[in-house]
A and B are shown apart, each in its own frame.
Chain A
Amino acid sequence: MAQQASAGKAAPKRKPRLMKQANMNRVLYALTPVLLVAIYFYGWRVLAMTAVACMAAGITEFITSRRRGSPVSTAAFVTGALLALSLPPMTPYWIAAIGAAVGILFGKEVFGGFGRNFANPAILGRAFIYVCFPPDMTTTFVPAFEGFPAGFVHWSFMDLAELPGRLSAQGLSMADAMSQATPMWLQKNLGVGYDLWNSFLGNIGGLFHAEEQTRILAGSSVGEGSVPVLLAAGAYLIYTGTANWRLTVGMLAGVVAGGFAFNHIAGGTIGGPLFHLLNGATAYVAVFMITDPVSAPKKRPAQWIYAVLAGVLVVLLRWRSPFVDGTSFAILTVNLAGPLLDMGSEAMAARGKAKEGASQGAAS
């Protein structure tokens, strides 16, 4: 990881328009299948949303980095794509653009560009728009398309007639069932679990009836749906050395531990470890967000604590926070703690070495 960071820092000395970063290119390659799956489930609007976010990120970085005299980095487009794929399917374009711009400007550019920030820009942008526009971020969920061409022949989810037989067969109109709920919301507010196999595939849709209201079950964010694709992308990133496996594995372990512990404390109402692994943004965040080499700590023990803490916090936030899936807050929190963890493990290592030296000195 340290090599990558230094490679990123060395590059700006030359002055091309676009700084090419091999690692960031690999993240873009890994995001391509995720994007395709998102289009499959939610229609071509996802691609437009991604393009808007990438453009907003690129333009913001172009304006700010030109003053500094450094080129636009590929990382800006990675931030834009990561942010867009973490949004609900029907998020207005301008909100996606604001998220990307804020993430790039306040998450990265005010600190001097790539490699110098302490927080993950995409996560910062996501948390910012989640806090600023909660209605748009929590009511724009729609169910996934199903059956082969699925989203590939649709722009976006418009009305229930376009939808899968499982919905239209019920003779519902959009007005009858406007209220959408994600599996996470279901578990949190009604204590109803959703079929884990469908959660695993990202095939989220259908109707359910509870508390005298029929709700549409809907996917929460476009990119986080299909766990197998995300895991494959993660495997590619880890295999090519772009992502650090400790961070991914540590975070998943943290989610499992948090799922066990908090579900036990809450009396089984918040869903077990498997529920938290397969639902919501867990896989997406563990593969793409926490592995950001810039914001993660550099020392090995610090990385483990960082990742496990993030996983535990994810489940804690799902349990107690008013935000339904506050994964971004968990990542932002560990981003804040990252430098302290690094300094702490450095100090511990120094103390260990001093002790070793002292005992060797005593022996000789």
Chain B
Amino acid sequence: MIAQVTQQPVAASLIAILFAAAITDNILLTRFLGMCSFLSVSRQMKSALGLGLAVVFVTTATTAINSVLYRQVLIPLEKAYGVPADTMILILFIVVIAAFVQLMEMFIERVSLGLYFSLGIFLPLITVNCAILGSSLFMVTRQLDLLGSLIFGLGNGLGWWLAIMLMAGIRTRLRNARIPPALDGAGITLIIAGIMALAFMGYSGMIQVQ
């Protein structure tokens, strides 16, 4: 399977990366990254949709930027001065993500005030979404090139968006449910996330990309 993927033409392997990241290796449902905003923002469809799309955008962009920085800055630094790239990636990636989100926030505030207010607190929340940092870190362990990281980031973002949309749909449907008081809120959401992860387990290992 692994050999097959590497022998396939570039387009096919990119599609494999996309689907593996979005479905079979879903960053939220198989690795449980990015849970905090997933639990808190999935109550309403509209905010889930907005946050999900923002995460798709930020994940795609930062994974690609981090890929370039890792290759062009960290690796040469390690070779020339012995700066350990493994430790530096955490600092660099977090700074890049925070800076990117900050820039995007300023940009949106400048360009469209309506969108800025409708996203509200969710924009800064993206900074602390560990799925985004996770996407960059997995990019490094998978040794993807620039195009590969772009697609990988897009896949991870889309997977996160899909999961939060499904969760928002289910939570909207459960409005009339009589959930035991002890489980209300985060408890029941974690149980639903567990059921979703169980469903996605059936698809694990369908596409293997490394």
Contacts and interface: CB of A to CB of B under 8 A. Distances in A.
B206 interface: yes
Q: Is the interface of B mostly helix, strand, loop or mixed?
A: helix
A330 B174 contact: no
Contact of B199 (A67, A112, A113, A336): A336
B114 interface: no
B206 A320 contact: yes
Contact of B176 (A106, A116, A340): A116
Given A127-B201, A321-B206, A332-B198, 11 more contacts: A106-B195, A111-B188, A116-B176, A116-B177, A118-B174, A119-B195, A127-B202, A328-B202, A329-B202, A338-B169, A340-B169
Interface string B42-53: 000100000000
26 contacts: A68-B180, A111-B174, A111-B177, A111-B188, A112-B178, A113-B178, A116-B174, A116-B177, A116-B178, A118-B192, A119-B195, A127-B201, A127-B202, A321-B202, A321-B206, A323-B202, A329-B199, A330-B202, A332-B198, A332-B202, A333-B199, A338-B173, A339-B172, A340-B169, A342-B169, A343-B172
Contacts of A107: 195
> For chain B, which range describes its interface: under 10, 10 to 19, 20 to 34, or 35 or more residues?
20 to 34
Interface of A: 67-68, 106-107, 110-113, 116-119, 124, 127-128, 131, 317, 320-323, 326, 328-330, 332-333, 335-340, 342-343
A306 to B, nearest CB: 12
A333 B173 CA distance: 16
Closest 6 CB pairs of A and B: A329-B202, A112-B178, A340-B169, A339-B169, A339-B173, A332-B199
B175 to A, nearest CB: 10
B90 interface: no
Contacts of B194: 106
B196 interface: yes
Contacts of A339: 169-170, 172-173
B99 interface: no
